[in-house]
Structure 1
Amino acid sequence: MLYSLHVKNLALIKEQEIEFSKGLNILTGETGAGKSVVIGSVNLALGGKADAGLIRTGEEYALVELVFGLENDSQRKLLEAMDIPVEEDGTVVIQRKLMQGRSVSKVCGESVSARQLKDISNILINIHGQNDHQELLHKQKHLDILDDYCMDKLGDLPDKLKENLQKMKELQNSLDETNIDEASRIREQELLEFEVNEISEAAPLVGEDEKLESAYHKMVNSRKISEAAYTAYAMTGSGESEESASDIVGRAVRELSTVVSYDAELSDLLSQLSDVENLLTDFNHSLSAYIKDLEFDDEEFKETEDRLNIINHLKDKYGGTIEKVLAELSDKQARLDALSDLDAHRAKLMKDLEEQKKTVLDLCRKISVIRKKASKELGEKLKSALIDLNFLDVKFEIAVNSDEENITARGYDDVEFMISTNPGEALRPLEKIASGGELSRIMLALKTVVADKDDISTLIFDEIDAGISGKTAWKVSQKLGELSRDHQIICITHLPQIAAMADTHFMIEKGLSDGRTVTNIYSLSEDDSTKELSRLLGGEEITEATIQNALDMKKMALESKG
């Protein structure tokens, strides 16, 4: 659940902290008081679009911080799989700092990307904005809702379908490529034969280019290398120079040897100097062998240069590395074999394509069977939830129509919500008859039905009451109360029927601080909550009648919650 929201220097909010409770958290306030800023700040913290214009005038930055508490092991495992360092007590702190031109997001002190932040938010919270119910007018959303509902039963079938559909498309493309005339086939075949022969005759080996580059570089610079090596040998080798290092060290060894018997301490020094003499001798032997290896003739140099030119030509022409050159050889040989016997190749492709299409259709059928069964189950649950929301004579079905000629990565089903809200009227597509108020209730019904199937414990509703009033508003209030038994609900509303159901009631209002407008948010006591209900019921003037009406409404809400 969401423990708290801390906002600083955002829009009209100077600094506010809201501590939410379990159950139903209601936020009310005058129009324009800043209710949307609260939901906006939550969205901002969870990766919403950042606008520097949101920073409070005169401040360098804005800050939003959300503190969540994990409610189940599933959430913890999902976050740990994303390498998010969850606290031992299950606390997750999400912080976003907004500055001019940039923003920084952190989760439990670790910087995260916008993509990671979105994935994390999908695990912890579900936000229903003011216009989200409009998505129900798009049929694509209906398919998403149904698939989300039966996700467990679908398992890995959607992934298998995508994989096999891609294979089918690749086979179809390969088959299409065989539709060439004879002249084109001969031209392509001759080019492939030349390229295959060019690579095969060169027979490049992986790593050969690096060895050739090293050898060529050594040969080109052999004179400089030889001069330096000979000079070093002359300076260190015995007999090459009267003042060579070997001769000098040798004489030093002999000198110490004549006096070592007089002082035992000289023994260790003589031993060290003897080691130096031996190291110089070994070095000179190695350097002498290296100098002999530097000797090569012009023919060897030319062979190395010519081979390097051939390898570099192949790399430039076929991919930049020998590995890619050899991969090109394999692909071109396969294509050449196909062109050499085009009819047989084409027949094999057609057979493979037919088998692959059967596999794809079989996966589509399995997915469709699951969807159709789930559509009946979900349809009945939604109908029941809609009746609870004052759709008294509603008929609701989820139509799943299959078309084997129209296969996509989602299958071959077309899903559409069908509804009738009046007796005697036939079922029609949702987009044809649903009003704004009906759409918001249908969305609430959906949230209620699917809430038990996911592990998200916190739901936010921004004016779910749009377009409703009276008895319908009370039904919506009861449904929110029902949903809040097992979930934390945060709801912005302007309807007293919904506000009366609050377990915790917050007030949002504008005020003045140091001559500037600020938005304040605070929790209401039981008496203050009653007064706010009275305001919602009767406007600015609070009378004994509106107060009594508010008390009655609270009593009804309490009875409804049982």
Structure 2
Amino acid sequence: MLSQLYIENVAIIEKCGLDFNSGFNVLTGETGAGKSILIDSIGAILGERTSRELIRTGASSAFVSAVFSNPGQQAMEKLRDLGYTADEEGNVLIQREINLTGRNACRINGRPATVSVLKEISPFLVNVHGQHESYQLLSPDLHIRYIDRMGELSPLVIQYQEAYRKMCRIRDELRDFDLDEEQKARRIDLLKYQIQELEEAELRLGEQEQLTEKRTLYRNSEKLAGQFQRVRALLDGEEDGGVLSALGEISAALAEAQRYLPSLGQLTERFQSIEYDLQDCSEELSQSADLLDYDPVELEEIETRLDSIYRLSLKYGQTTEDMLKYLESCREELENIELSEERLEQLNEAYEDAKAEAIRLAKLLSAQRKKTSTGFMENVKQELGFLNMPGVEFQVEQERCPLNHSGCDKIQFLLSTNPGEPAKPLAKIASGGELSRIMLAIKTVLAGKDEVDTLIFDEVDTGISGSAAQKVGLKLRQAAKGSQVICVTHLAQIAALAQNHLLIQKHQQKNRTFTEITPLDSEGRAKELARIMGGLPVTSLMLENAREMLKLAEETPSDFGG
């Protein structure tokens, strides 16, 4: 559910924050007050194309953010697939900034995102229906999802898709085997050469690091010998003695003094411990110095070996581990090619089995879709009749197509707005207002089964009035039961049936235009309904009619509507 929206420097809106509730929300206001800007701002959050013309005059950028509370399971799965998660409270915060250079900065819960990511997740968060949107109804690829949801076919769809993926996986493996004899021979020769070269190298994990360490030691042996000699001189001394000799004398002197001052015992032991530690250090130093004795031939062999490993790494992988993995993959590929006839026979058999299972499930799914489509058509036509579109013929066209991720069906919705005219795809027939009402009818039919719980209607009231408007309002209210509907309307009959009413107003200040969005209480709603019905000034009779309309709307149950 879209719970919060914040807009900054978008067209005539300087700063505006508003909260949406569940249920039926309406937005009203005079023409030009900014209703379309609000819809455009929501579109920006959903990844729709924007331009710098959207930025308020004098501002360097425009900013929009939206909070979606507890999105559905499919939305969360899609977010996880894209690398995002909800916050601790289960909310999703989407932000988008558009600057004058045309660049966009997008974030999802604080993590960077792209406009394409917003567009990819948006169908799982909100369905927007208005004159500027590429409606879901115009995309036949999505029609099949409505039928599957209507028939509650998700388990069967998942079962089919698993079988289809298995078939495709085996098919791809078969293609890898599909080499002609000349290609196969060339590949075998190359693999054998690479395997031989890597096997003869007798690579060992950690060898390169050990040899590199030895080479560094041998190359710097003279510098090391000089430092070792200096340290030994300081420890052992020559004529005057070194640190070890001095410590011995100190320890002896303290031992003698301890006879007369027993409290020196601990200090004496500490000096003796230091002397013993330094003696150990001296012995270790001697052992390290022994490492500097090497045969120049050994250094040459190390150089040769490292050079050989380096040349192999240029061809087979940066590290020894990479090269050994490559060797193993070459052995497996060679074995597969050499045993290709037997393996090919196994794969062909597995492919035929997987294909048969996928076809079986696709046909079963197709039959269920056909059965579902019949009831779906009748229910949608019934709802369209209630919405004052009785002459509209709504059909579900189901055609067989090659197996794909969705099955073996191509499904699209057809419409005929005039009796006697053949039904055609929605994109060629329906106007914006008709599409909104058709979607409203579909959402009513799918009530409780839809994965998206936020619907936004921008021009559902186009070309209607009177009783038709009231019916549309009733359906919007019904569709909002258990979900969220946000509707921009110019009709009092629709606005009166809402559970949350927001007023969009613009005013001028210091020769600049500003837009405000205000939640209305009961009296505020009455005044706004009166203005919609009769314009300004609002009379007492107009207010009385508006209050009566609100009272009747409150008494109307949310599940009323045909």
TM-score range, shorter chain: 0.7 to 0.9
1:7-29 superposed Cα distances (whole Å, 9 cap, x missing partner): 44443223444454554322222
Q: For the residues of structure 2 that align with 1:134 and 1:121, how far apart are their CA atoms?
A: 12
1:108-129 superposed Cα distances (whole Å, 9 cap, x missing partner): xx62333787788777655444
Structure 1 SS opposite 2:388: coil
User: Is 2:234 aligned against 1:235?
Assistant: yes
**Contact preservation (8 Å) 1:481, 1:501:** yes
1:326-373 superposed Cα distances (whole Å, 9 cap, x missing partner): 232233233333554654454444344434433543554455455445
Name the aligned partner's letter for residue 497 of structure 1.
Q
1:383-434 superposed Cα distances (whole Å, 9 cap, x missing partner): 333232223255544333333xx23333332112234555566655444543
User: Is 2:493 aligned against 1:512?
Assistant: no
**Contact preservation (8 Å) 1:229, 1:287:** yes
User: Is 2:495 aligned against 1:499?
Assistant: yes
User: Is 2:483 aligned against 1:487?
Assistant: yes
Name the aligned partner's letter for residue 137 of structure 2.
L
Q: For the residues of structure 1 that align with 2:278 and 2:556, how far apart are their CA atoms?
A: 98
User: Is 2:492 aligned against 1:466?
Assistant: no
The answer for the alignment partner of 1:143 in structure 2 is 144
Q: RMSD across aligned C-alpha pairs, in angstroms?
A: 4.1
Change (3 A) 1:85 1:364: same
User: Is 2:173 aligned against 1:168?
Assistant: no
| Aligned 1:9-24 pairs, distance under 5 A | 9-21=9-21, 23-24=23-24
Deviation at 1:317, TM superposition (A): 0.9
Deviation at 1:278, TM superposition (A): 0.6
**Contact preservation (8 Å) 1:171, 1:353:** no
Structure 2 SS opposite 1:391: coil
The answer for the alignment partner of 1:26 in structure 2 is 26
Name the aligned partner's letter for residue 131 of structure 2.
Q
| Aligned 1:30-429 pairs, distance under 5 A | 30-44=30-44, 54-59=54-59, 64=64, 66=66, 84-87=86-89, 111-114=110-113, 126-132=127-133, 134-147=135-148, 149=150, 150=152, 152-154=154-156, 156-157=158-159, 160-161=162-163, 163-176=165-178, 178-181=179-182, 184-236=183-235, 238=236, 242-340=240-338, 343-365=341-363, 367-392=365-390, 394-403=392-401, 406-421=402-417, 428-429=424-425
**Contact preservation (8 Å) 1:96, 1:105:** yes
- With 506-515 and 62-71 compared, the bigger mean Cα shift is at 62-71
Structure 1 SS opposite 2:403: coil
Q: For the residues of structure 2 that align with 1:261 and 1:55, how far apart are their CA atoms?
A: 92
Q: For the residues of structure 1 that align with 2:184 and 2:125, how far apart are their CA atoms?
A: 59
Deviation at 1:548, TM superposition (A): 7.6
Q: For the residues of structure 2 that align with 1:47 and 1:112, how far apart are their CA atoms?
A: 16
Change (3 A) 1:308 1:544: same
Count of aligned pairs: 552
Deviation at 1:382, TM superposition (A): 2.6
- With 143-152 and 444-453 compared, the bigger mean Cα shift is at 143-152
Q: List runs of 5+ in structure 1 lacking aligned partners.
A: none
Q: For the residues of structure 1 that align with 2:315 and 2:74, how far apart are their CA atoms?
A: 53
The one of 425, 434, 437 equivalent to 1:441 is: 437
**Contact preservation (8 Å) 1:79, 1:86:** no
1:225-284 superposed Cα distances (whole Å, 9 cap, x missing partner): 233223323332x47664322122112212222222122232222111111111111111
Q: For the residues of structure 2 that align with 1:449 and 1:397, how far apart are their CA atoms?
A: 15
Deviation at 1:519, TM superposition (A): 1.5
Q: For the residues of structure 2 that align with 1:348 and 1:332, how far apart are their CA atoms?
A: 21
1:26-75 superposed Cα distances (whole Å, 9 cap, x missing partner): 22222221112223334445666676654544456655565666599999
Structure 1 SS opposite 2:314: helix
- Give the TM-score normalised by structure 2: 0.82
Name the aligned partner's letter for residue 325 of structure 1.
M
Structure 1 SS opposite 2:259: helix
- Aligned-residue sequence identity (percent) comes to 35
